[in-house]
């Protein structure tokens, strides 16, 4: 790797070469050692996406310590619950964020390192020996209910994920990409192949409020040639530009949430020279499937088939099993497996599939299956089916609609109505025995209801919501059913 090549371009335009990044990593490593950090220690990290974050992460990993991340959308009470449970050995926080962190009483007694700036060091970068099974990174998500889940990412997991992504992260003819991404974990994979990471000049927690013109200006300033972004950030960029504005972009990768069909078709129509890819995966297993916008569009001849995600990646095993709400025992697993075209829950296993949750046996029992050979499978909670090894998704395990002795799923009918009526903001919901189709877009509700019934789906009412449907804060994709 060329040490003088650019590793990171910060929000303010400052560039850092791989050599400078290494010096900052060593500087961070030395500061961590002064704080007494050793192999296996847990470091709670409250640092935004920046050169400091990446230097800190690499320093933590090189010491064999464990980086802890809390979902920034997690409520304060749940954050305190996690901190009390995990008892971090060190809390690393920026000066600005430390003012907010003080609102969490659970942080008051933690040993702290308040980062103002990182001082580069000319000393050697020392690496502590670790095994594939040693924990490297634990990400705590809010969880749909109850206790937050901390997904373990071991050193073996991170390496396997990097190897799986390498074919999609690495540039053509080994020419490095200049990547603009709002996914911090992508940067780690980028560094492994010598790409440049551009830190977005926006508040990643408020993408929907970002100024598109400023984003596009940053893309052009830095000659960004690839976007690896969430669907919501992609929409912000795409709908406010054209091919003459995004003149450097060659490749786009998106995922982390369902991609609106209108966005896919808009991209293909207005940016035919850009290669668009869609990744399906989760916190526990990323990636599971990879496809292109062209393939998705080809499969829309019948939108009632569900959401097309493509073929699974080579390094993962995928099965469809009968849906059930209770934990699955080893001797039940084989009998629950379904055939092609049968709808059930997607389960996966592989080196880049998380095997357990940190200090949360209940979550592990609910979301993991140990088969009779001892292989650990992850239950995604996504429902779908396989046809000629191609995966289609139809919904989530908690959104099954039971009526007339049948199971109905939201994704196919939502997708069908989106295309039929040219709308995007919809939701097919079952609540208190009422089956309702919500739309955030102005539409002839009676015509929508008649179409839903015509294609064989039950529907008691179609309601025009009058404003955008309530969705999760992280991705702006999952419907907030109780709010509706």
Percent of the chain with pLDDT over 70: 99
Tokens of 24: 């900052």
How sure is the predictor about 412, in pLDDT bands with cuts at 50, 70 and 90?
A: very high
Which residues are within 8 A (CB) of 416 and not within 5 positions of it... i.e. 6 or more apart? 303, 304, 451, 455
How sure is the predictor about 76, in pLDDT bands with cuts at 50, 70 and 90?
A: confident
List of domains in the chain? 6-130 (3.40.50.980), 401-464 (3.30.300)
Query: Do residues 396 and 380 make contact, with C-beta atoms less than 8 angstroms apart?
Result: no
Of 466, 420, 412, whose CA–CA distance to 440 is shortest? 466
pLDDT in tens, 22-44: 999 999 999 999 999 999 999 99
Q: What is the pLDDT of residue 475?
A: 72
Q: CA-based Rg of the chain, rounded to a whole angstrom?
A: 23
| CA 45 – CA 470 distance, rounded (Å) | 30
Q: Looking at per-residue confidence, does 172 or 301 come out higher?
A: 301
Q: What is the pLDDT of residue 143?
A: 60
| CA 204 – CA 206 distance, rounded (Å) | 5
How sure is the predictor about 243, in pLDDT bands with cuts at 50, 70 and 90?
A: confident
Pick the range with the lowest mean pLDDT from 162-171, 411-420, 427-436: 162-171
- Asked whether residue 476 carries a pLDDT value surpassing 80, the answer given is no
Sheet containing 112-115, strands listed edge to edge, beginning at the edge strand earlier in sequence: 112-115, 90-94, 42-46, 66-70, 135-141, 149-154
| CA 177 – CA 196 distance, rounded (Å) | 6
Which residue has 């054209």 as its token pair? 242
Q: Looking at per-residue confidence, does 74 or 21 come out higher?
A: 21
Q: What is the pLDDT of residue 75?
A: 86
Average pLDDT, the chain: 93
Q: What is the pLDDT of residue 141?
A: 86
| CA 266 – CA 342 distance, rounded (Å) | 32
Of 201, 242, 250, whose CA–CA distance to 221 is shortest? 201
Q: What is the pLDDT of residue 179?
A: 97
What is the mean predicted confidence (pLDDT) over 216-224?
A: 97
What is the mean predicted confidence (pLDDT) over 198-208?
A: 91
CB-facing half-sphere around the CA of 261: CA atoms within 13 A: 27
How sure is the predictor about 206, in pLDDT bands with cuts at 50, 70 and 90?
A: confident
What is the mean predicted confidence (pLDDT) over 158-163?
A: 92
- Asked whether residue 11 carries a pLDDT value surpassing 80, the answer given is yes
| CA 335 – CA 243 distance, rounded (Å) | 52
**Burial class of residue 117, CB neighbours in 10 A (0-12, 13-18, 19+):** exposed
Q: b/e per residue, 157-170, with b = 16+ CB within 10 A?
A: bbebbbebbeeebb
How sure is the predictor about 174, in pLDDT bands with cuts at 50, 70 and 90?
A: confident
How sure is the predictor about 394, in pLDDT bands with cuts at 50, 70 and 90?
A: very high
Tokens of 394: 């139809």
**Cis peptide leading into residue 287 (ω within 30°):** yes
- Asked whether residue 235 carries a pLDDT value surpassing 90, the answer given is yes
- Asked whether residue 145 carries a pLDDT value surpassing 60, the answer given is no
Q: What is the pLDDT of residue 146?
A: 57
- Asked whether residue 402 carries a pLDDT value surpassing 60, the answer given is yes
What is the mean predicted confidence (pLDDT) over 111-117?
A: 90
pLDDT in tens, 304-333: 999 999 999 999 999 999 999 999 999 999
Query: Do residues 311 and 291 make contact, with C-beta atoms less than 8 angstroms apart?
Result: yes
Q: What is the pLDDT of residue 144?
A: 53
Tokens of 320: 């469809």
């Amino acid at each position: 790797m060329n040490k003088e090549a650019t590793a990171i371009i910060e929000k303010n335009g400052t560039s850092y070469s791989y050599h400078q990044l290494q010096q900052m990593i060593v500087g961070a490593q030395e500061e961590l050692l002064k704080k007494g950090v050793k192999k296996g220690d847990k470091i709670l990290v409250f640092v935004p996406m920046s050169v400091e974050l990446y230097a800190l992460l690499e320093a933590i990993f090189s010491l064999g310590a464990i980086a802890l991340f809390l979902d920034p959308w997690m409520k304060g009470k749940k954050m305190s619950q996690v901190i009390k449970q995990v008892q971090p050995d060190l809390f690393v926080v920026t000066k600005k964020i430390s003012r907010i962190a003080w609102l969490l009483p659970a942080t008051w007694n933690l040993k702290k390192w308040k980062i103002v700036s990182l001082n580069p060091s000319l000393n050697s970068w020392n690496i502590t020996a670790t095994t594939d099974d040693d924990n490297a990174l634990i990400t705590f998500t809010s969880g749909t209910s109850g206790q937050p889940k901390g997904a373990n990412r071991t050193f073996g997991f991170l390496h396997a994920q990097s190897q799986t992504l390498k074919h999609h992260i690495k540039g053509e003819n080994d020419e490095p990409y200049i990547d603009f991404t709002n996914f911090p974990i992508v940067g780690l994979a980028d560094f492994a192949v010598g790409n440049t990471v551009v830190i977005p000049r926006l508040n990643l927690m408020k993408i929907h409020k970002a100024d598109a013109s400023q984003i596009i200006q940053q893309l052009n300033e830095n000659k960004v040639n690839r976007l690896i972004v969430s669907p919501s950030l992609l929409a912000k960029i795409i709908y406010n530009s054209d091919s003459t504005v995004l003149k450097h972009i060659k490749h786009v990768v998106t995922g982390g949430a369902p991609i609106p069909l209108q966005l896919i078709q808009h991209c293909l129509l207005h940016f035919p020279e850009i290669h668009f890819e869609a990744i399906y995966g989760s916190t526990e297993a990323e990636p599971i499937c990879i496809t292109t916008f062209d393939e998705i569009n080809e499969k829309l001849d019948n939108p009632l088939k569900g959401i097309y995600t493509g073929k699974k990646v080579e390094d993962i095993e995928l099965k469809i099993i009968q849906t059930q709400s209770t934990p699955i025992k080893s001797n039940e697993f084989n009998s629950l497996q379904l055939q092609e075209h049968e709808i059930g829950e997607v389960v996966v296993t592989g080196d880049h599939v998380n095997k357990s949750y940190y200090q949360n046996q209940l979550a592990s029992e609910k979301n993991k299956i140990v088969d009779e050979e001892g292989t650990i499978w992850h239950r995604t909670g996504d429902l779908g089916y396989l046809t000629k090894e191609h995966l289609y998704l139809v919904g989530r395990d908690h959104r099954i609609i039971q009526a007339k002795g049948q199971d109905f799923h939201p994704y196919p009918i939502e997708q069908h109505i989106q295309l039929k009526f040219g709308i995007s903001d919809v939701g097919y919901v079952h609540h208190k025995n009422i089956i309702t189709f919500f739309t955030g877009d102005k539409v002839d509700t009676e015509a929508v209801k008649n179409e839903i019934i015509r294609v064989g789906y039950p529907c008691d009412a179609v309601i025009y919501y009058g404003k955008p449907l309530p969705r999760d804060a992280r991705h702006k994709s999952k419907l907030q059913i109780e709010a509706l």
